[in-house]
């Protein structure tokens, strides 16, 4: 039964400091028995999308490159599957919000580029990120089949379904989401409820485990709400982190439960694949 570790952390002043700190967290997670370790969204940088500033493109890294080499060496040394969320420079003027997936032998299995890009006050992501074109890959790792999606992707049932149709037993969502001070008093609880509930629904509808890994702490005008969690195929929250604290959240993932659930809740069997053509349209009228 593989052990999952979610690294709920904070913001650091430099990429070197962030990498060194997260390396300590990764080593601590492995020492705690973790087989699959996942970082929060854009773990090497602040959540820089609070403003539109062309100079911040300098934070990006080529992938594959020195960053993924270092992460791969760490995964190999510790014998863990490592999912890390990074800012990718793909080419001149072309940038992505990207997850790198390393297997337990250190091999870079591939990259997933965030598909759904939000644009909201303090979440100015369309300025920085090109929508991903990596499709919906599922990574067959030493410790199970993973689907990796990123933050805003977590609101879309189509993305979760396509990953699980590809065989994913566990969906992981590196995330950076929080409250704005003018919204928190009236909408804060509702926003968090919506975020958590929609993802629990993905777990149920697809008969899989789901893990969301969020930041914590304050940055600029945003209070990241932490509360990383793991849901089982029934949508039950089986592990949950605090709001304010940096922590490593562990859970042992029962992959047999995924198969057992899908046998008695046969959503894949009963799908009307002949009747869903309109899903490929922008609007149905």
134-139 own/partner pairs: CB under 8 Å, 24+ apart: 134/110, 136/162, 136/163, 136/166, 137/110, 137/112, 137/166, 138/163, 138/166, 138/167, 138/168, 139/101, 139/103, 139/109, 139/110
Q: Under a CB-based contact definition with an 8 Å cutoff, are residues 103 and 143 in contact?
A: no
pLDDT band at 236 (very low <50, low <70, confident <90, very high): very high
pLDDT digits 0-9 by tens, 203-235: 999 999 999 999 999 998 899 999 999 999 999
Pairing of strands 138-141, 144-148: antiparallel
Q: How confident is the model at residue 48 (pLDDT cuts 50, 70, 90)?
A: very high
For the question of residue 193 being annotated catalytic, the response is no
Set 41, 88, 125, 223: catalytic member = 41
For residues 43-82, one letter each, b for 16 or more C-beta atoms within 10 angstroms of the residue's C-beta and e for the rest, the string is bbbbbbbbeeeeebeebbbebeeebbeebbebbbebebbb
CATH of domain 3-274: 3.60.110.10
242 in Cβ contact with 227 (< 8 Å):
yes
Which of 238, 167, 158, 174 lies closest to 208 in space, CA to CA?
167
Contact in structure between 93 and 71 (CB atoms under 8 Å): no
- Calculate the CA 41 to chain-centre distance: 6
Give me the catalytic one of 10, 114, 125, 223.
Answer: 114
Q: What is the pTM of this model?
A: 0.97
Catalytic-residue membership of 114: yes
Which of 89, 125, 151, 223 is catalytic? The answer is 151
Q: Is residue 224 helix, strand or coil?
A: strand
pLDDT digits (tens, 9 = 90+) for 119-162: 999 999 999 999 999 999 999 999 999 999 999 999 999 999 99
Structure confidence at residue 285 as a pLDDT band (50, 70, 90): confident
Catalytic annotation present for 151:
yes
């Amino acid at each position: 039964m593989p052990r999952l570790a979610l690294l709920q952390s904070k913001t650091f002043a430099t990429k070197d400091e962030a990498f060194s700190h997260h390396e300590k967290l990764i080593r601590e997670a492995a020492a705690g028995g973790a087989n699959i370790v996942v970082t929060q969204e854009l773990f090497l940088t602040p959540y820089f999308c609070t403003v539109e500033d062309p100079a911040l493109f300098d934070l990006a890294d080529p992938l594959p490159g020195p960053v993924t080499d270092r992460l791969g060496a760490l995964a190999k040394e510790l014998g863990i599957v490592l999912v890390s969320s990074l800012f990718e420079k793909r080419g001149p003027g072309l940038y992505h919000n990207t997850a790198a997936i390393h297997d337990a032998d250190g091999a870079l299995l591939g990259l997933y580029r965030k598909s759904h890009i939000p644009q909201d006050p303090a979440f100015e992501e369309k300025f920085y990120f090109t929508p991903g074109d990596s499709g919906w890959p599922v990574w067959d790792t030493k410790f199970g089949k993973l689907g990796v999606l990123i933050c805003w992707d977590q609101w879309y049932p189509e993305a979760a379904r396509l990953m699980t149709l590809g065989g994913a037993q566990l969906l992981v969502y590196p995330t950076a989401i929080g409250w704005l001070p003018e919204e928190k008093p009236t909408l804060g609880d509702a926003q968090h409820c919506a975020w958590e509930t929609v993802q629990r629904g993905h777990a149920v509808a697809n008969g899989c485990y789901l893990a969301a890994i969020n930041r914590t702490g304050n940055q600029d005008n945003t209070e990241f709400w932490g509360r990383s969690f793991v849901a089982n195929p029934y949508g039950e929250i089986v592990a949950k982190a605090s709001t304010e604290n940096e922590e490593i959240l562990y859970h042992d993932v029962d992959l047999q439960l995924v198969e057992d659930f899908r046998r008695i809740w046969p959503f894949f069997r009963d799908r009307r694949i002949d009747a869903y053509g309109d899903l490929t349209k922008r609007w149905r009228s």
